[in-house]
Amino acid sequence: MTGALGEEDRVRLAPGVMLRQDRVRNHWQLLGPERVLILDEVALEVVRAATAQPPVTVGAAIGALATQFDAPRDEIAADVLEVLADMIAKGFLTR
Q: Give the whole-angstrom CA distance, residue 37 versus residue 95.
A: 18
Select from 15, 29, 34 the least CA-distant residue to 94: 15
Which pTM does this prediction carry?
Answer: 0.92
pLDDT at 3 over 90: no
Residue 2 is predicted with a pLDDT of: 64
Phi, psi angles (nearest 5°) of residue 94: -140, 160
Give residue-wise pLDDT tens across range 26-85.
Answer: 999 999 999 999 999 999 999 999 999 999 999 999 999 999 999 999 999 999 999 999
Domains of the chain: 12-94 (1.10.10.1150)
Residue 4 is predicted with a pLDDT of: 92
Burial class of residue 10 (count of CB atoms within 10 Å of its CB; 0-12, 13-18, 19+): middle
DSSP 57: -
Residue 1 is predicted with a pLDDT of: 57
